[in-house]
Amino acid sequence: MKIQQVLKTSLAWAMAFLLAPVSAQAGPGDQTPEQYIAQWKEVAVRKMKEHGIPASITLAQGLLESRSGNSVLAVEGNNHFGIKCTPDWTGGKVFHDDDKKNDCFRKYRSADLSFEDHSKFLMRPRYASLFELKPTDYKGWAHGLKRCGYATDPRYPHKLIDLIERYQLNNLDRGVDVSYADRGGSSNKPATTKPSRHTSRDGDNVVTIGDARPVELFDGRIKFVRARKGETVKDIADEIQQMPGLVAGWNDMAKDSRLEEGQVVFIQPKRNKSQDQESVIAEKGETLWGISQRYGVKLKKLAKYNGMGIADPLQPGQKVWLRKPR
């Protein structure tokens, strides 16, 4: 009788999960999608940098396969991607009914090992064609996973794409952070999509979110903030909940760099070229890095356009190309 009750309860739970939309709010004590993303986005970005798999795809698969970290496999086996045992698997095991009764799934000592194993799993020859796609082509990756046999559900790509676009996870693929407002419940939009007020300064758009520092837009397209007295790159990275290495890279600085008050710090990648200016004349004491920050153009691109090293000195009056010379 007890076994029948357990089976009946398990079947009811499984049917409810399959029929409910993925975006359904988690029950009391369960982790919400927003909480899951906040917990694992840095790991997903790190795996993207190490292995080339879009962070958006990793997180969307984790959300879908683990039910935002609430599935039996995620809770009991730290398995966030539903990866089954294979003949070469020598790690832990957890058994769960799936395609057949008591299917064998991989069990990990910690959930972050599940993320690493997911990356290695996709680096098998079977999925080689995916790595020919651009890392920002999340739609191509979603359809490619289905085509390569990762899942049998015909709507699997559409479910991934829906999650990515609903939570704007594709921003992570471009080096832009995502975060969500705490409104006492689940929210499907990042906090930055609904700023509390808009002002302007020096012709740039400025958005102040809650009580945080203003986030400005250079040329209406590149987000940046201004450093406060005594701050470091890490201080700003911590405030915007981003990895210090990424913020440092976007600004061509070291992670432990100290900042001057009012200094511009980009919080997303600079562009490959100036939007509407071909060149600029260097002033006395100006550096290529300074011009890179002033015009929002990547330092390595400026060096290439001007046939010089990134640390080479500039002469007063020297013409500096902000885009490839014609």
Query: Using one digit for the tens of pLDDT, what is the confidence trace for 100-151?
Result: 777 898 999 998 899 999 999 898 889 999 988 888 899 999 999 999 988 8
- Beta carbons of 164 and 22 less than 8 angstroms apart: no
More confident of the two residues 12 and 75: 75
For residues 167 and 313, give the distance between their C-alpha atoms in angstroms, rounded to a whole number: 44
pLDDT for the residue 187: 40
The single residue listed with the structure tokens 């490839």 is 324
Which DSSP letter does residue 322 get?
Answer: S
- Backbone angles phi and psi of 182, in degrees to 5: -90, 105
pLDDT tier, 191 (very low <50, low <70, confident <90, very high otherwise): very low
- Look at 239 and 159; give whichever has higher pLDDT: 159
Instruction: Please report the domains of the chain, with CATH numbers, ordered by start residue.
Output: 28-173 (1.10.530.10), 195-266 (no CATH), 279-321 (3.10.350.10)
Do residues 33 and 186 lie in contact, with contact meaning Cβ atoms separated by under 8 Å?
A: yes
Residue 184: partners with Cβ closer than 8 Å, 6 or more residues away: none
**E strands of 122-229, at which residues?**
197-201, 204-208, 214-218, 222-226
Q: What was the pLDDT predicted at 211?
A: 43
Structure tokens at 297: 């153009």
Beta-ladder partners of 105: 84, 94
110 three-state secondary structure: coil
Residue 49: partners with Cβ closer than 8 Å, 6 or more residues away: none
Residue that wins the pLDDT comparison between 212 and 62: 62
pLDDT of 4 reads 46
**What's the mean per-residue pLDDT of the chain?**
78
Q: Give the mean model confidence (pLDDT) for residues 65-92.
A: 88
The answer on pLDDT for 220 being more than 80 is: no
